[in-house]
Structure 1
Amino acid sequence: MSVSEKPSLTILMGAPRGFCAGVVRAIEIVELALERYGAPVYVRHEIVHNRYVVEDLERKGAIFIEELDELPDGDRPVIFSAHGVPKSVPAAARQRNLFYLDATCPLVSKVHMEAERHHERGLQIVMIGHAGHPEVIGTMGQLPEGAIILVETPEEAESFEPRDSSKLAYITQTTLSVDDTREIVEILHRRFPNIVGPHKADICYATTNRQEVVKEMAPRCDMLLVVGAPNSSNSQRLVEVAKKSGCARSMLVQRAHEIDWSKVGGVRTLGITAGASAPEVLVEEVVAAFRERFEVALETIETRKENVSFKLPRELRQAAAQ
């Protein structure tokens, strides 16, 4: 097919998109640990929810494990993922005299600290989040069992019965849909006017910003693709936000080869964005796949600039400076 025969396609590129500061920090921790301590370096769970990133780190010498009991005795470092871990995990590492580095996103750590402060004040805590997500497991594992009650839906927020409605606080998973969370928070405030919330919203800046640009793009798109992994909460939420914002043909893709070209018929304006754990190289791969089939005109839709960065663990700062 010659260039002149290709159908025209406008691609709206969401900005900001892709890696957030917490993901950049987590990947850098693994890479610097490999530089400083040599391979192998062990990582408990996927460092971030993206197979491309995980496989790239595996090639460099990282070994991913699910639990610490898979870790052989010795002096090899183990790294905890960006999603955070229950307190029992570093406790078990200390018991075995393991050297560990914590790659928990500082914004997740902020939620952990909030939960501890509420607990010290004698408040029962409601966590808005998704059961089974590593971040939720890690946050609920900061306190004794039963101290945090998980609420996933508006219906659960309506039916939840606290021990004492005057001693109640809430926290949220950082990667949720801003709008869905707002609905649950409004229900909790209506039912329990004295409920204590976070000083600053728990949903992270990157999640909020990526959802914001999707809301801007979606009404203009015939189709919108979110580059991200199926187990990435923030990527799944971007698909949901796109659909609610006016683009019914919105879907998640991990790699260009997953695109179902039979569903692209009739698309004249395509939106592309990426979840916070998806590297830009995968976005470029998707754009290249469309260039093979269409005469592409790119347009960037930018709703705000991001300039956030987080400090590395003290043990690695020196290595990073060299």
Structure 2
Amino acid sequence: MLQTTTKPPLTIRLCQPRGFCAGVDRAIQIVVLALKKYGAPVYVRHEIVHNRYVVEGLQNLGAVFIEELSEIPAEHRESPVVFSAHGVPKSVPADAVARNLFYLDATCPLVSKVHKQAMRHQRQGRHVLLIGHAGHPEVIGTMGQLPDGAVTLIETEADVANFTPQDASQLGFVTQTTLSVEDTAGILKALQRKFPELQAPAAESICYATTNRQEAVKDTALGTDLYLIVGAPNSSNSRRLVEVAERAGSKMSLLVQRASEIPWDDIGEIETLGLSAGASAPEIIVDEIIDAFRARFDVKIDIAVTATETENFPVMRVLRDVELTAADMAFVNGPA
């Protein structure tokens, strides 16, 4: 007599919004459109976004990822080079011009806005305080908009305590776009207590997508046995989501890049799973992870809608004559 096994029930709280933001989507489109218009190779300085799956997909289409412009062979100097969504110091496009390279700047418009805010502070005679994480490409790019010594990086409240400016009445701050909203608020309060004349940027620096994804995780974490965030270890906004889930009441939260990284033997018995994705994680991986749970559980999906995103950042004019099809983006969105 055949025995049938019943899968244990599992409710997946699926966050909406999740995954790609407008800036990431634009950056990936720029690389794909450049490949269609100019042909391979298209060089990309640094990972276009922090997601291995996306990078490998673009490599399969003919993109070549480099860290420095000097890596471009002399015979390929007419090929386009794309700057990543995180932004670059001013020295990078200047280097491209000096090398007679054709470049396409895929910096997220919201990162560019932070660059302009920092430069505005400096024009008004202020020393700039950048709240962010040392070594992150976005931080390197923002600091590189201003002369050496014009920006001080503030990572923690301890950094605030240790910072002594030349003129406390002439300070302005900006922030990395992908920070924890709560952590940044604590650092900012410490700065404002110590430097009451500190000037804010003209608009919020932490981007809408970071805020929306953190709020969605915060609203859905309580009561979850496990919270999975789809994203890369070097993705700042994805790692912040793991922290938010833990603080908001999930019993366990983990960052995974693919379904193959789920530690099935360690997660134990679960009844409620939270699931979201960082701003550089494609939806096709979210689907892959849901399928992995369906193979093991009787899955019910509750979609938790906490915000509606309508932002769209157009690509640069030189690429607008190229048609982008669903098939072109199937490597991140799945088949049409």
TM-score by length of 2: 0.94
Work out the CA distance in 2 between the residues paired with 1:200 and 1:262: 46
Structure 1 portions without partners, runs of 5+: none
Identity of aligned residues (%): 60
1:148 is matched with which residue?
Answer: 151
Q: 1:89 to 1:2 in 2, by over 3 A?
A: farther
Select which of 289, 292, 295 maps to 1:292. Answer: 295
CA distance in 2, matches of 1:4, 1:182: 50
1:216 aligns with 2:197: no
RMSD: 1.4
Q: Which amino acid aligns with 1:83?
A: H
Q: Does 1:33 align with 2:34?
A: yes
* Number of the residue aligned with 1:69: 70
- Superposition deviation, residue 320 in structure 1: 4.1
How far apart are the structure 2 equivalents of 1:12 and 1:283?
Answer: 12
Q: How does 1:193-204 map to 2 (within 5 A)?
A: 193-204=196-207
How many angstroms apart in 2 are the aligned matches of 1:3 and 1:311?
A: 53
State the Cα distance separating 1:215 from its structure 2 match: 0.4
Give me the whole-angstrom Cα distance separating, in 2, the residues matched to 1:209 and 1:25.
18
Distance (Å, rounded) in 2 between the aligned partners of 1:275 and 1:58: 21
How far apart are residue 263 of structure 1 and its match?
2.1
1:169-184 paired onto structure 2 within 5 Å: 169-184=172-187
Question: Contact between 1:7 and 1:295, CA under 8 Å: does it hold in 2?
Answer: yes
- Give the corresponding residue for 2:43: 42
Relative to structure 1, is the Cα distance of residues 295 and 122 closer, same or farther in structure 2, using a 3 angstrom cutoff?
same
Q: Which residue of 2 aligns with 1:57?
A: 58
Measured in 2, the distance between the counterparts of 1:225 and 1:147 equals 40
The structure in which a higher percent of residues are helix is: 1
**Alignment correspondent of 2:334:** none
CA distance in 2, matches of 1:9, 1:2: 22
Determine if contact 2:117/2:202 at 8 Å carries over to the other structure: no
**Structure 2 unmatched ranges of 5 or more:** 326-336
> 2:240 corresponds to which residue?
237
Per the normalisation by structure 1, the TM-score is 0.98
Other structure's SS at 1:263 match: coil
Secondary structure of the residue that 1:262 maps to in structure 2? Answer: coil
One of 281, 285, 289 as aligned partner of 1:282 = 285
- Measured in 2, the distance between the counterparts of 1:219 and 1:108 equals 32
- The residue identity in structure 1 corresponding to 2:16 is A
Residue of 90, 93, 97 corresponding to 1:90: 93
SS at 1:220's partner residue?
coil
2:267 and 2:289 mapped to 1: Cα distance? Answer: 13
Query: C-alpha displacement at 1:158, in angstroms?
Result: 2.2
Find the aligned partners of 2:47 and 2:323 in 1 and give their Cα distance: 22
Please state if 1:246 is matched with 2:249: yes
Which runs of at least 4 in structure 1 moved beyond 6 Å after TM superposition? none
- Aligned equivalent of 2:135: 132
* Aligned twin of 1:9: 10
Asked if the contact 2:33–2:324 (Cα under 8 Å) also holds between the matched residues in 1, the reply is no
Question: Is 2:224–2:251's contact at 8 Å kept on the other side of the alignment?
Answer: no
Q: Aligned residues, how many?
A: 322
1:264, CA displacement in angstroms?
A: 2.2
Cα separation, 2, equivalents of 1:2 and 1:263: 27
